[in-house]
Amino acid sequence: MKSYIVKIEFEESDPLIWRRVIMPAGATYRRLHDVIQTVTNFRSGYPHDGYHLYEFDLTKDQKIVTDHEEAYLEHQHYKKNKAAYEERLKSVPPEMLGFEKNALERLKIEVRKPTGLKIDDYLEKYGEIRYAYDFGDGWQFTVKLEEIVDDYYFGYPTLLDGAETSPPEDVGGMHGFYEFLKAYRDEKHPEHKEMKVWGKSVYFREYDPDWINQILKGLNYKKTEWDKINHENYMIIEDKYRKS
């Protein structure tokens, strides 16, 4: 089936935290969010409930895709009351006019919900999607299209490659993560035991591709074409993309 090989890069990480994933075409932005969450250490993707807000910035199409209900409702209100918003600008004090104009321009950007829009058109047209998660810690990702293939037959994504362990929830941004990691990995660090306990409480784990691929099986949104896969009783014998 038609599928995308994408590289997910964790911005501002050094060394770069990245994951290469193959996923069937036709995924919604919600499903792409689930994939990113699963290949990292975050906890807002399926099967978990939303933990922090997230947003896909489709700048080149003047769109935002987000689970932030307030932002969605604000845009809906603007669409229904455009004339009133424009009229209101006429009574704004001069010293506030610049601020209000900028606010109005932001409201004009189309806001969509992540379950109602698929990634295919934007990803194929522009080759890149920006993703933000947890507006407090401020995590930023770039999803880059590397290749479109038609010889992947599984109905769920697969992690192909990657590097570096990713941050856990609520660690305090990239600087906080590297401070945490220093203590977590160094048995002689004065906060080592505390960080080990805290890491366990937020389900932190070092990068583990096999574990990730087991979880990715749950993100099923297409029918697996077993007749095109070399398997015995659904146990994979040999495949270009998956070992199990």
Give the model's pLDDT for residue 139.
98
Phi and psi angles of residue 108, each rounded to the nearest 5 degrees, phi first: -75, -20
Per-residue model confidence as pLDDT tens digits over 121-162? 999 999 999 999 999 999 999 999 999 999 999 999 999 999
Phi and psi angles of residue 102, each rounded to the nearest 5 degrees, phi first: -65, -40
- With cut-offs at 50, 70 and 90, classify the pLDDT of residue 92: confident
pLDDT at 63 over 90: yes
Per-residue model confidence as pLDDT tens digits over 189-231? 999 999 999 999 999 999 999 999 999 999 999 999 999 999 9
Give the model's pLDDT for residue 214.
96
pLDDT at 68 over 90: yes
Cα separation, 175 vs 177, in Å, equals 5
Q: Which two tokens stand for residue 200?
A: 């366990």
Q: Which two tokens stand for residue 18?
A: 């990245």
Quote the pTM value. 0.93
Residue 11, classified by CB atoms within 10 Å of its CB into exposed (0-12), middle (13-18) or buried (19+), is middle
The dihedral of CA 182, 188, 193, 194: what is its sign? negative
Average pLDDT value for residue range 110-122: 96
Q: What share of the chain is helix, strand, coil (3-state, %, to 5)?
A: 35, 25, 40
- With cut-offs at 50, 70 and 90, classify the pLDDT of residue 175: very high
Give the model's pLDDT for residue 100.
85
Cα separations in angstroms, 163 against 14, 75, 118, 158, 238:
11, 39, 27, 15, 24
